[in-house]
Amino acid sequence: MAVTLLFAGVMAALSYAVPATVPIPGRAVLAMVLAAVGVGMALAGVRDFRRHRTTTNPMTPEHASALVVSGIYRYSRNPMYLGFLLVLAGWGVYLAHGVALLLLPLYVWYLTRFQILPEERALERRFGRAFRDYTRSVRRWV
């Protein structure tokens, strides 16, 4: 969440410092839809973790008590991160700033490299073959 807020702040700062607005028809509505879908997706991920009584703390994946493969996790291995990405996309659309929108791939790279891959290594150690089978059937982001 902290990384997401940091990226949102950088996006806002760039939109004020560098004139690079792009026309986006219906931007307020599109921004709200993206953000709402993102929040819904992230909350669905939290809900599924809580249903399985496992940790939602991304800093301690080794404490996971269950491998969640149902609910929204049938479609994405990282719906909470995907939800955050959609919220940032909504923010970028609202700002209507080309450079701010170009930060979205950097966000995906950063989360994948420094959060998701370490989590996946911890989950593979914890759940072994079940986790490897899951990774073969469900994509990391979408």
* Averaged pLDDT for residues 129-141: 97
pLDDT at residue 109 tops 80? yes
- Render pLDDT for 55-100 as a digit per residue (tens, 0 to 9): 888 888 888 999 999 999 999 999 999 999 999 999 999 999 888 9
Joined tokens for residue 52? 């399985």
Kindly calculate the radius of gyration of the chain based on its CA atoms and give it in whole angstroms.
Answer: 16
CA–CA gap between residue 60 and residue 86 (Å, rounded): 24
pLDDT for residue 84: 98
Q: In whole angstroms, how far apart are CA 58 and each of 1, 82, 111, 123?
A: 10, 14, 11, 11
* Averaged pLDDT for residues 40-59: 94
pLDDT at residue 20 tops 80? no
| Domain locations along the chain | 2-137
Contacts of 13 (CB under 8 A, 6+ apart): none
